[in-house]
Amino acid sequence: MDPGTLSRATAAVTALAGELRLPIDDVVVVRNSNKVSVRVLPADVFARVAPLGQEVAALEVELARRLAGGPIAALEPRVEPRVHERDGFAVTWWTHYEVVPAGPDLPGVYAGALRRLHAGLRTVELAAPHFLDRVAAAERLVTHRDETPALADADRRLLLDTLRDAGDRIRARGAAEQLLHGEPHPGNVLSTHDGPRFIDFETCCSGPVEFDVAHTPEEVGARYPNLDPVLLAECRRLVLALVATWRWDVRDEFPDGHHHGRTILSMLRQGPPWPTPGALVT
């Protein structure tokens, strides 16, 4: 968010906290992107804020309610579990977790938590986009030069061919599909005293579990049982192409995004084995 929008967002959180009788002396911005995450002190509550109409807050709250007790961030118990609206913003309230160092068996713990998350998501019936909808959106970005003006023609062809080919190959595997997190990479996992907690379900979608696992480090995928290795490889390839596409979007705010995008394009040209996107961020 730009400074003006961020200021209005934190003001909305302050006003709502007062109405909800949460003690508040300070609002600390933890993350600022298309939505803002803040820590409210001394209430020690975590709030997520997004402009109305640009959020999937209701879906995240509903998932947290249905998967209570699972490896996901919990809603703040002192606040009614719903989306709170104020001054054009949607605000949801979450438990704040102390982040602790990961243990020596992080890959196994991470894989186990993801398996439990997937098991819980299989019990949930909610309307969510298909993962191939994300592929179609990426294809539109690549084909619309005004949205990706800095993308060279050869790179544009590579991305479009990769998105289409990987999508076709994944579809051809005919794997079972279910509700997924959508992007369970390490940046969306908190290491807490109670184990890993997944956050940020705004990319929730349906598809094969291999699509989720493709976002995790290779060591985690190696500890997740009964995966289709061919499907996982194609999903890793697809995820790389998706991430590379977003780096060329004129609205992208990723630091040094074009450098990151060129790195991924080079990897796609070199061929397999496909690294995970997190392994490319230095």
Q: What is the mean pLDDT of residues 205-219?
A: 96
88-102 confidence digits (pLDDT tens): 999 999 999 988 888
pLDDT of residue 282: 38
Res 248 pLDDT > 60: yes
pLDDT for 55: 65
What mean pLDDT is reported for the chain? 93
**What are the tokens at 49?**
């804020």
Q: What is the pTM of this model?
A: 0.92
pLDDT of 204 higher than 90: yes
Q: Tokens at residue 14, please?
A: 């302050």
Residue 281 scores a pLDDT above 60: no
Q: What is the pLDDT of residues 17-61, one digit of tens each?
A: 999 999 999 999 988 877 889 999 999 999 999 998 866 788 899
Q: Of the candidates 23, 46, 158, which has an alpha carbon nearest to the alpha carbon of residue 93?
A: 46
The pLDDT score that the predictor gives to residue 79 is 94
CB 132 within 8 A of CB 171: yes
Task: Identify which of 63, 101, 68, 65 has the alpha carbon closest to the alpha carbon of residue 202.
Answer: 63
What is the structure's pLDDT at 114?
Answer: 98
Angle in degrees, CA 109, 112, 115, rounded to 5: 150
The H or E element spanning position 201 is none
What ranges do the domains of the chain cover?
A: 3-95, 105-279
Length of the chain equals 282
Element (H, E) at 170: helix 153-173
Banded pLDDT at 104 (limits 50, 70, 90): confident
| More confident site: 63 or 104 | 63
The CATH homologous superfamily for domain 3-95 is Phosphorylase Kinase; domain 1 (3.30.200.20)
- Quick check: do 3-95 and 105-279 share a fold? no
Cβ-Cβ contacts under 8 Å for 184 (sequence gap 6 or more): 114, 117, 198, 212, 215, 216
Placement of tokens 């051809």 in the chain: 172
More confident residue, 198 or 282: 198
Other CB atoms within 10 Å distance of the CB of residue 14 = 18
User: Alpha helix (H) ranges present in 92-152?
Assistant: 106-121, 131-143
In this model, does residue 276 exceed pLDDT 90? no
251 three-class SS: coil
Range in 102-106, 152-156, 198-202, 266-270 with the lowest mean pLDDT = 102-106
Distance from the Cα of residue 167 to its chain's centroid: 20
Write the single-letter amino acid at 1.
Answer: M
Integer Cα distance of 261 and 190 in angstroms: 26
Q: What CATH number does domain 105-279 carry, 3.30.56.10, 3.30.9.40, 3.30.470.30, 3.90.1200.10?
A: 3.90.1200.10
The answer to whether the beta carbons of residues 90 and 57 sit under 8 Å apart is: yes
Q: Measured between alpha carbons, how far apart are the two ends of the chain, in Å?
A: 24
Strands 36-42 and 24-32: antiparallel
pLDDT, tens digit (0-9, with 9 covering 90-100), for 114-173: 999 999 999 998 889 999 999 999 999 999 999 999 999 999 999 999 999 999 999 999
d(C-alpha 224, C-alpha 5), whole Å: 41
